[in-house]
Amino acid sequence: MAFRIIKDAAARHTFRLFTLAACAMALPLAVSLFLKSLPVLKMQSLGAILFSTEWHPMQGKFGMLAYIMGTATVTGLAMLIAVPVSLLAAIYLAEYAPARFRQMVLPLIDLLSGIPSVIYGVWGIVVIVPAARWLSQRFGAWSSGYCLLSGALVLAVMVCPFIIHVAREVLSTVPFGIREASLSLGATKWQTVKLTVLRKALPGIVAAVILGLSRALGETIAVLMVIGNVPAIPKSLFDPAYPLPALLANNYGEMMSVPLYDSALLMSGFILLVTVLIANLAAKGILRAMQRGQI
Amino acid sequence: MKRSNLAARKIEEGIFKGLMYFSVALVLGTLLLITGIIIAKGLPSLSIQMLTQTPKGGYYLGKEGGILNAIIGSIYLATGATLLALIISLPVSLYINVYTRSNSKLAALVRFSMDILWGIPSIVYGAFGFIIMISLGLRASLGAAIIAVSLFELPIMVRAMDEVLKMIPPELAEASYSLGATRTETAFRVIVRQAIPGLITGVLMAFGRGIGDTASVLFTAGFTDRIPTSLSQPAATLPLAIFFQLGTPFPEVQGRAYAAATVLTIMVLIISLTARLIAHRYSKCITR
């Protein structure tokens, strides 16, 4: 009898320890990356790192603006493509689609979104890059095809299932009575969606988009494979770019040879982590306020 | 609201409905096309030799060999990482659902931090794994990669398991307590037994994510042509093999990258299909 209780207590305490440790895991992640980026921060001001394009590790210059702009442009463009398509698809699946179609399509989208990102990269090289090359020639830009546009298209395809998933869930939480009230006043189905359902679900939709954005920010391999990786601020769709995660991923082998280089690279990881954390916290905050009925 | 006649409203309805059909078709079509193209592109280069041999000398110049090292490496890595993640996730998800009430503050905190961890990009886990590896004095190896991937899998698994355990009716636990069972006995003999199909689904999902992830093992796995025989040896993985082989200028080797991509795609699809089938069957016979 006593042994069973001791066993129970031991298990309870161990499990609680595991739980607390798992909860706090984001902390060592952030702290260790921050500590590793301290050396480069001591040498250069944060402003110089964030807003200078001078990336010369050999001379100890670590301006990341080109990489930050690479990430910003490719993510922005991808969202521009992905958001309207995903929202329209999510609205269709939540409001219009017959139940059987929905039950077939949703798991299929989820299943296919589980395809590893390196596979999306391969697809990008096989399909998107030649297409972008062809398109650039039509516009007289003569790009290799490994460019901003290719990166954005691949990234857009990757975040679509994610935004659809979250947005559809948000839409399905809108109370049914609202739709009935609107329809009974003679509104068409689309008017009902536009004027009542979307208005009610707007904060949640914003959260879905932010979550999609934070996914896109951190996506590494697929984008790196098709975007060309030239560290300059891209001026057109057919220019190559060099996003922040790609910087980290591409240089891992040489990390240790140049002083401060590894510090600068891990700092790029830290910048990425902080950006994604802020985006996630914002989205979570919105969703929580919505659940409590504050918005 | 603007006054609009019925015809105009009908036209608007039609336009947006058309756009919606187009969007759904676009997303679904693209995703199916990707799978189709990868498989079509890889099948011609796929051979028995690819699947049963490790790379021989000059493999990366287009000579003899296969990707067995990467296939086995991936399976070792994902199995190890999934086991490690399971050892932590199962207690965590049991703790918040059995040991505390599942609507407690701690449970909310755990769910929140798992959502946050889940959103962290895998490249950051890779960098963190690298820092751990260096500070433990390890070299790039199977063991180091297992640690990095298990951290990446942890939030996926806890979330999946939590979803399952939340659904178990509390009466089941109450019946067990009333017979004098402790919480631990209830957790393992009643709750886990009831939830086992769902838990397996969670494990398989995490396994599928772990086997396909590249960025988290980029720094920690190392890459080798040999099949690792211990945790301290470097290991190749399928995503890394695809990534590196596509980077070579030889069409032969690139063809093998496509073949490796086909192998990986089929493996991941089988794993997640199995996971979903188990979840589906389970949801039909849940005790209420």
Contacts of A214 in chain B (CB under 8 A): 119
Chain A's closest residue to B107, CA to CA, is A19
The pLDDT of residue A50 is 87
Residue A33's nearest CA partner among B113, B130, B116, B244 is: B130
The token pair that represents B84 in the structure block: 């490690």
> DSSP secondary-structure letter at A61?
E
Q: Which residue has the higher pLDDT, B218 or B158?
A: B158
Sign of CA dihedral A90, A91, A93, A94: positive
Measured distance CA(A66)–CA(A247) in Å, rounded:
10
Residue A85's nearest CA partner among B26, B284, B7 is: B26
Chain B's closest residue to A102, CA to CA, is B24
Mutate to test the interface with B, among A1, A20, A23 (most CBs of B within 10 A): A23
Is the CB of B31 less than 8 angstroms away from the CB of A127? no
Question: What class is the A27-291 domain?
Answer: mainly alpha
The token pair that represents A73 in the structure block: 């442009």
Is the CB of B213 less than 8 angstroms away from the CB of A116? yes
Burial A99-125 (b: 16+ CB within 10 A, else e): eeebeebbeebebbbbbbbbbbbbbbb
Contacts of A190 in chain B (CB under 8 A): 9, 12-13, 16-17
- A18-27, A195-204, B121-130, B247-256: which has the minimum mean pLDDT? B247-256
> DSSP secondary-structure letter at B228?
P
Identity of the amino acid at A77? L
Contacts of A112 in chain B (CB under 8 A): 31-32, 34-35
Residues sharing a CB contact under 8 Å with residue B256, sequence separation 6 or more, in sequence order: B45, B50, B67, B245
- Nearest-CA distance from B174 to chain A in Å? 16
Q: Which residue has the higher pLDDT, A70 or B56?
A: A70
Q: Which residue among B20, B37, B213 sits closest to A88, beta carbon to beta carbon?
A: B20
Mutate to test the interface with B, among A6, A12, A19 (most CBs of B within 10 A): A19
Residues A192 and B9 sit within 8 Å (Cβ to Cβ)? no
Output the CA–CA distances (angstroms, integers) from residue A248 to A252, A267, B150, B218, in the order listed.
6, 9, 21, 10
Contacts of A25 in chain B (CB under 8 A): 113, 117, 151, 154
Cβ of residue A269 closer than 8 Å to a chain B Cβ: yes
Domain ranges of chain A: 27-291
Q: What is the ipTM metric for this complex?
A: 0.90
Q: Which residue has the higher pLDDT, A103 or B57?
A: A103
Identity of the amino acid at A294? Q
Measured distance CA(A110)–CA(A17) in Å, rounded:
33
Residues A148 and A246 sit within 8 Å (Cβ to Cβ)? no
- Nearest-CA distance from A141 to chain B in Å? 24
| pLDDT reading at B267 higher than 90 | yes
Is the CB of B121 less than 8 angstroms away from the CB of A272? yes
Contacts of A166 in chain B (CB under 8 A): none
Is the CB of A19 less than 8 angstroms away from the CB of B154? no
pLDDT tens for chain A, residues 1 to 295: 688 899 999 999 999 999 999 988 889 999 999 998 898 888 888 888 888 888 887 787 888 999 999 999 999 999 999 999 999 999 999 999 999 999 899 988 888 888 999 999 999 999 999 999 999 998 887 788 899 999 999 999 999 999 999 999 999 999 999 999 999 998 989 999 999 999 999 999 999 999 999 999 989 899 999 998 888 888 889 999 999 999 988 887 665 667 788 888 889 999 999 999 999 999 999 988 888 877 6
Sign of CA dihedral A229, A231, A233, A238: negative
Residue B187's nearest CA partner among B202, B165, B209, B205 is: B165
Q: What is the pTM of this model?
A: 0.91
Is the CB of B122 less than 8 angstroms away from the CB of A218? yes
Contacts of B273 in chain A (CB under 8 A): 111
Is the CB of B119 less than 8 angstroms away from the CB of A211? yes
Is the CB of B24 less than 8 angstroms away from the CB of A105? yes
Contacts of A11 in chain B (CB under 8 A): 183-184, 187
Mean pLDDT score of chain B: 88
Cβ of residue A123 closer than 8 Å to a chain B Cβ: yes
Contacts of A279 in chain B (CB under 8 A): 119
Chain A's closest residue to B95, CA to CA, is A15
The pLDDT of residue B283 is 66
Residue B196's nearest CA partner among B42, B37, B90 is: B90
The pLDDT of residue A19 is 93
The pLDDT of residue B57 is 67
Measured distance CA(B36)–CA(B40) in Å, rounded:
6
Contacts of B269 in chain A (CB under 8 A): 111, 115
Is the CB of B215 less than 8 angstroms away from the CB of A122? no
Contacts of B158 in chain A (CB under 8 A): 22
Q: Which residue among A18, A32, A190 sits closest to B88, beta carbon to beta carbon?
A: A18
Contacts of A16 in chain B (CB under 8 A): 95, 99
| pLDDT reading at B287 higher than 60 | no
Cβ of residue A144 closer than 8 Å to a chain B Cβ: no
Cβ of residue A19 closer than 8 Å to a chain B Cβ: yes
| pLDDT reading at B6 higher than 90 | no
Q: Which CATH architecture has domain B51-284?
A: Orthogonal Bundle (1.10)
Chain A's closest residue to B207, CA to CA, is A114
| pLDDT reading at B62 higher than 90 | no
Is the CB of A284 less than 8 angstroms away from the CB of B112? yes
pLDDT band at B111 (very low <50, low <70, confident <90, very high): very high
- Nearest-CA distance from B230 to chain A in Å? 23
Over the Cα atoms of chain B, what is R_g? 24
The token pair that represents A101 in the structure block: 């179609």
The pLDDT of residue A88 is 96
Cβ of residue A30 closer than 8 Å to a chain B Cβ: no
- A56-60, B26-30, B227-231, B269-273: which has the minimum mean pLDDT? A56-60
Is the CB of A16 less than 8 angstroms away from the CB of B95? yes
Identity of the amino acid at A246? A
Measured distance CA(B263)–CA(B73) in Å, rounded:
14
Residues A87 and A163 sit within 8 Å (Cβ to Cβ)? yes
Q: Which of residues 199-218 of A touch B (CB under 8 A)?
A: 211, 214-215, 217-218
Task: Using DSSP, state whether B40 is helix, strand or coil.
Answer: helix
Can you tell me the mean pLDDT for B29-53?
Answer: 88
Is the CB of A248 less than 8 angstroms away from the CB of B127? yes
Domain ranges of chain B: 6-45, 51-284
Pairing mode of beta strands A61-62, A55-56 = antiparallel
